[in-house]
Amino acid sequence: MRSKRRSVWLALLAALALIAASCGADDAVEEAVEDVEEAVEEASDGGDEEGAEEESMEEEEADSEEAMEEGDDAAAGSDEPIKIGALTSLTGPFTSWGLHVEAGLKMAADDINAAGGVDGRMIEIIVADDQSDAEEAVVQFERLLEEGVVAVAGTISSGVGGATVGLAESNQVPLFLSKAGSDALLTADSRYTFRTCLPAGPMLAVPWAQYANDRGFTKVGQMIADYAWGQSFLAASEPVFSDAGVELQSEIAPVPEQDFTTYLRSLDEFGPELILATGHPPGSGPILAQAADLGLDVNVAGPGSSMTAVLEAAGDTAIGRYADHSCANYFSDDYAELAARYVADTGLGFMEDDAVAMYAVVNAVADAVANAGDDTAAMAEYLHGQSYTSPGMAYPLAWTEWGELAQAQMVLVAVNGGPAPDGLNEAGDWWVDELFTSEPLEPYVPGS
């Protein structure tokens, strides 16, 4: 607009100049030319002001349109799903855990969605297979971030946990560990990593030492897997059992090992009254069966393993011999109600404690979104101030400042010949007895 107005005045000035030159302009013409020159200067100044005003108006209109678009986006966002990443082991040695992680997460999402969602927003579980491999877990975690998840849940392996907790902390996205219990996973500065179904290794050794002492055992043997979790449990168990007055012998085997005969023969010579396979999660079933073959007629305690996987591997050998710890209270009415639906809907036969814990996690995330919004940093801060009592859990989900379980209370169980309560186990003719329930465990402080 400004340049067009200036051009008109310049054209008029040129025309007057031509008239003056061709006609022998007198003083009047010269005065007219001077007047036009002054007008051009004024028009230029005024044009600058008007142009600035028009530019400002255009910018305001653009800002207004942008604000309206953002408002529309925000309105549309209120209908968008709440995405939760299920990063777990659906292949590899921890598959039997991962299947129940996935099923528990999806069951909770279905229940919340059937009740109307979170302020009308549906929950969507985005599944990623970490393949029980640390490098693959990093790839899948980053993919989940690109998908826009507000939280990630389901880590089983401590090796996978070690590769992903840093990503959770740096990206400020809540990560819920299921069975990754290495004490090295949390630091004093952790704010976005939360344990759920398994406390730190130093905490877990305590109830087993208490149980051994309660039963009057003097010798306990254990199988340790040579990776982060196994080494964590080994470091914790030695002083704990020593303080309980129980002699401990440990055998260390590779994670993929399935033939434990040599290690078990060494333990047989030691003469244990209990064998802890807690430190070698993938080997629980084979350790149990091979111990029986060698005539080691003692209970073998697993690592919070998949009960169905152990019973499938060991068969009748497990009956009356296999023991384990659990974050689920299999003897509560609310577990029975939840598990009956789970068994009927998933076809997995038995509701493992990982499924119970992940059911609790989805409800906790939904509560955080409802109260803190989609901002993941605000969600994490909110979660640290909560305590969740969830169906089937043996203790409330509550956390220390650094994400350790603040009220963990482990239930130790042993497998019996059943029958199971009606509708609670279609995986076989077995059930569980309660051996021992610990008092709430003192949270482990990183570096202590």
Task: State yes or no: pLDDT of 339 exceeds 90.
Answer: yes
The answer to whether residue 103 sits within a structural domain is yes
User: Which of 341, 396, 403, 394 lies closest to 363, judged by CA?
Assistant: 396
**According to the model, what pLDDT value does residue 212 have?**
94
Domain boundary at 326, 349, 383, which?
326
Taking 80 as the threshold, does the pLDDT of residue 231 lie above it? yes
Q: Which residue has the tokens 């040579």?
A: 226
CATH number at residue 312: 3.40.50.2300
Position 330 scores a pLDDT of 97
Helix (H, G, I), strand (E, B) or coil at 250: strand
What mean pLDDT comes out for the span 332-360?
97
Whole-number Cα distances in Å, 57 to 6, 71, 237: 21, 21, 73
pLDDT at position 439: 87
Distance CA 48, CA 1 (A): 10
Residue 350 has pLDDT above 50, yes or no: yes
> Which pLDDT belongs to residue 98?
97
Q: Could you say which of 304, 326, 348 is where a domain stops?
A: 326
Enclosing domain of residue 18: 1-53
Q: What pLDDT does residue 2 have?
A: 38
Question: Do 231 and 259 contact (CB within 8 A), yes or no?
Answer: no
Helix (H) or strand (E) run with residue 74 in it: helix 27-77
Mark whether 310 and 368 lie in a shared domain. Answer: no
Q: Is the pLDDT of residue 4 over 50?
A: no
Average pLDDT of 387-394? 98
Look at residue 61 and tell me whether its pLDDT is greater than 60.
no
240 and 300 fall within a common domain: yes
- Mean pLDDT across the stretch 427-441? 94
> Averaged over 418-447, what is the pLDDT?
94
Residue 35 resides in a domain: yes
The C-alpha R_g of the chain, in whole angstroms, comes to 34
Whether 268 is covered by a domain: the verdict is yes
pLDDT of residue 194: 98
- For residues 116 and 176, state if they share a domain: yes
Render pLDDT for 246-277 as a digit per residue (tens, 0 to 9).
999 999 999 999 999 999 999 999 999 999 99
User: Could you report the per-residue pLDDT of 354-384, keeping only the tens digit for each?
Assistant: 999 999 999 999 999 999 999 999 999 999 9
Say yes or no: 178 and 212 in one domain.
Answer: no
Same domain, 252 and 281: yes
Q: Walk across the sheet containing 219-225 and list its strands.
A: 247-253, 219-225, 274-279, 299-301, 322-326, 411-416, 431-437
Q: How far apart are CA 44 and CA 350, in angstroms?
A: 85
The 3-state DSSP class for residue 285 equals helix
pLDDT bin (cut points 50, 70, 90) of residue 393 is very high
Q: What is the pTM of this model?
A: 0.79
* 258 and 291 share one domain: yes
Asked whether residue 136 falls in the same domain as residue 154, the answer is: yes
- Tell me if residue 415 falls in helix, strand or coil: strand
Averaged over 80-85, what is the pLDDT? 98
> Does residue 15 come out as left (phi exceeding 0), alpha (psi in the -120 to 50 range) or beta?
alpha
* Together in a domain, 170 and 217: no
- What band does 58 get if pLDDT is binned at 50, 70 and 90? low
- Residue of 163 and 76 predicted with greater confidence: 163
User: Is there a single domain that holds both residue 142 and residue 248?
Assistant: no
Angle (CA) 404-149-87 rounded to 5° is 60
Residue 4 in any domain: the answer is yes
Q: How many domains does the chain have?
A: 3
DSSP 114-141: HTTTBTTBPEEEEEEE-TT-HHHHHHHH
Print the SS3 string covering 165-233: HHHHHHHCCCEEECCCCCCCCCCCCCCCEEECCCCCHHHHHHHHHHHHHHHCCCEEEEEEECCHHHHHH
Residue 322 and residue 206 share a domain: yes
| Cis-peptide, bond into residue 419, ω within 30° of zero | yes
At 278-334, the pLDDT tens digits run 888 878 878 998 999 999 989 999 888 889 988 887 888 899 999 999 999 999 999
15 with 93, same domain?
no
16 — pLDDT class (breaks 50, 70, 90)? very low
Q: Residue 77: what pLDDT?
A: 52
Domain end: 310, 326, 342, which one? Answer: 326
DSSP H/E element including 277: strand 274-279
Q: How far apart are the C-alpha atoms of 180 and 12, rounded to whole Å?
A: 85
For residue 371, what pLDDT is reported?
Answer: 98
Determine how many CB atoms are found less than 10 A away from the CB of residue 235: 14
Same-domain check for residues 96 and 131? yes
Q: What is the pLDDT of residues 111-149, one digit of tens each?
A: 999 999 999 999 999 999 999 999 999 999 999 999 999
